[in-house]
Amino acid sequence: MLDQLKLLIRAGNPIIAIETNDEERATEIVRKAADQLYLPLFEWSITTGVHRIRPEKAETGVKAGKAETALDYVLDNKGEKELYLFKDLGPHCHEAMVRRQLRDLHSRTQVQLILVESSPLPDSVRRLTVPLRLPLPDAAELEKVMRDTFHLIKESSLSEVTATVSKRDVEQMVNTLRGLTCAEAARVVAAAIHDDSALTPDDLQRMIEAKRNLLQSAGCLEAVTVNVTVDQIGGLDNLKRWLARRRGGLTNKARAFGLEPPKGILLLGVQGCGKSLCAKVVAADWGMPLLRMDPGVLYQKYIGESENRLREALGQAESMAPAVLWIDEIEKAFASASSESADGGLSQRMFGTLLSWMQDHPSPIFIVATANNIAALPPELMRKGRFDEVFFVDLPDAQSRQKIIAIHLKRRNRDPKKFALDDLAEKAEGFSGAELEQMVVSALYAAFAENAELTNAHMEGAMRETKPLSVLMAERVRQLRAWAEGRCVPAD
């Protein structure tokens, strides 16, 4: 970015605009450019006024106050080549005088204005500028921030501050900090160290949570708290093995080995069989934040607003990377993209935006998309390159039903060994994982009402009172299984 800025300055662009929330980092880059190009540099903000930075001088050009006065000072330049850095000029650009002054400056050759803005400039001013994007800190910068923060705290602390992290731990922490500014990353690291006067592998989860709180998403993207483990999924052994092999796929070690980051998976299956739980387990097992996109709230009534919300959600996901992006029931948003619809082509445009992003985005984001009716989805979504694999999550078999019942008994402080799990699993044929959980809950309520301890009889009674989805919607389940046969990889 420094080289780009120097090139724009040497090319004589009169007004350069840098839109970023990382003002401190942008200011440092501008100062380096001025130093390396041997140009005088002045800085302005409404609170500090104009003052000379390079070479340093005692006098102040303009005291704190209106932007008009500062721009008059710039316009009074008598011929010396100078750089001026203005911070947050955008809100002042609605005044006619400021807009006129900027137009006058646009025709000057001896002065160049660099605007650092936290919000977009008005269209009338943006057309006068050359935009320059300030990328978020890369891994090397974030690692330096992390080490500098640790040493700063260690030197200033009255108590002993220790570090017991390996090279892999540091790499994971740096990956977690991606998407933050340098200042935000320093605060996250400082909070983790101050918590116990140490930097340890356990701080990784604290950093993930702190990052989630910092970048709370809005609208159709929600940061989800993850508190599950792989052991809380019964069955799905094939899917678990696939995910375990790719656990380190987003690391630098994988890049050096020649591997590309895994893109994601599409989970098709019967409702209640654990597709949504899988997304949470991936995030927990890989130590990454989980972001949930609800396609149902993407569509808005005003023209262009739906596309903007999708781009906003995808941009938010990139700022949180590395992350797991969970697109729940993806067919709700994009099923009509494969057929003629009455929405004026909105579904096709939204679908095209998503496909382009999935193919080309550079951020380490693993997508977990779930669907209950994949037949209506456009075929382009399922080709290799969009997702790494398409898994079919079927109703659990007898062995998986045993594991699921045992998991839910343990969660409710019951010893599974005291129950005839094989007999219960046999009688629960056709039950989904969610239905098995509700069977255990209903049996507990029955036992509680009788003021008795939970028994097999309570669970068998709850089972008899339940009509599983495989019975209520037997035709649809058969159709789903028939479609997935030969097209999807079995998750179990």
Range of the domain at 198: 139-214
Are 229 and 358 found together in one domain? yes
Q: Are residues 259 and 387 in the same domain?
A: yes
Same-domain check for residues 98 and 10: yes
CB 278 within 8 A of CB 369: no
- As given in the structure block, the two tokens for residue 278 are 């899988």
Same domain, 230 and 181: no
Sheet holding 323-327, edge to edge: 221-224, 290-293, 323-327, 365-371, 264-269, 389-393, 489-490
Angstrom distance (rounded) from CA 360 to CA 351: 14
Instruction: Give bridge partners of residue 19 from the DSSP assignment.
Output: 117
**Does the pLDDT of residue 206 top 50, yes or no?**
yes
Residue 436's contacts (CB-CB under 8 Å, 6 or more residues apart) are 396, 401, 404, 405, 408, 428
Q: Give Rg (Cα) of the chain.
A: 29
In a domain, 456, yes or no: yes
Cross-strand partners of 44: 50, 86
The secondary element (H helix, E strand) that includes residue 115 is: strand 111-117
Type of residue at 85: L
Question: According to the model, what pLDDT value does residue 440 have?
Answer: 93
Q: Cβ(316)–Cβ(351) under 8 Å? A: no
- Stretch among 84-98, 199-213, 305-319 having the lowest mean pLDDT: 305-319
Clarify whether residues 25 and 38 are in a common domain. Answer: yes
Residue 279 included in any domain: yes
Q: Is the dihedral of CA 307, 309, 315, 321 positive or negative?
A: negative
C-alpha span between 99 and 109 (Å, rounded): 18
Residue 202 shares a structural domain with residue 324: no
Q: Are residues 387 and 264 in contact, defined by beta-carbon separation less than 8 angstroms?
A: yes
Token pair recorded at residue 11: 């090319």
Instruction: Report the DSSP beta bridge partners of residue 114.
Output: 16, 85
> Which tens digits make up the pLDDT trace of 385-434?
678 888 888 888 888 889 999 999 998 999 999 999 999 999 998 898 88
> Which pLDDT band holds residue 218 (cuts at 50, 70, 90)?
very low
* Residue with tokens 């929330």, as numbered in its chain: 21
CATH number of domain containing 272: 3.40.50.300
Burial 319-358 (b: 16+ CB within 10 A, else e): bbbbbbbbbbbbbbbbbbbbeeeeeeebbbbbbeebbebb
User: Does the predicted model carry a pTM greater than 0.75?
Assistant: no
If asked whether residues 46 and 84 sit together in one domain, one would say yes
* Cα gap 464→456, rounded to integer Å: 12
Residues 389 and 428 in one domain: no
| For residues 32-43, average pLDDT | 92
Domain-located, residue 442: yes
Query: Which whole-number Å values give the CA distances from 238 to 193, 242, 343, in the listed order?
Result: 39, 6, 40
Please, are residues 313 and 333 in contact by the beta-carbon 8 Å criterion? Answer: no
The domain boundary residue, chosen from 107, 132, 157: 132
Domain boundary among 103, 132, 161: 132
**pLDDT tens column, 47-98:** 988 888 887 765 556 777 889 988 988 888 776 788 999 999 988 998 999 9
Give me the pLDDT at residue 364, please. 82
Residue partners of 311: CB distance under 8 A and separation at least 6: 353
CA distance 275 to 260: 25
Residues 6+ apart with CB under 8 A from 28: none
Instruction: Compute the distance between CA of residue 218 and CA of residue 221 in angstroms, rounded to an integer.
Output: 6
Token pair in block for residue 35: 């130093």
Q: How many domains does the chain have?
A: 4
Longest CA pairwise span in the chain (Å): 95
Are 305 and 163 part of one and the same domain?
no
pLDDT at 344: 52
**Residue % of the chain over a pLDDT of 70:** 89
Q: Where is the domain boundary, 331, 361, 393?
A: 393
pLDDT higher than threshold 50 for residue 320 = yes
| DSSP for residue 289 | -
DSSP 8-state assignment for residue 91: G
Please, where are the H alpha helices in 215-338? Answer: 237-245, 252-256, 275-286, 305-320, 331-334
Q: Is pLDDT above 70 for 341?
A: no
Structure tokens at 417: 């060994």
Three-state secondary-structure class, residue 162: strand
Pairing between β-strand 389-393 and β-strand 264-269 as defined by DSSP bridges: parallel
Strand arrangement of the beta sheet that strand 82-87 belongs to: 60-62, 49-54, 41-45, 82-87, 111-117, 15-19, 130-132
Q: Is the dihedral of CA 92, 98, 102, 105 positive or negative?
A: negative
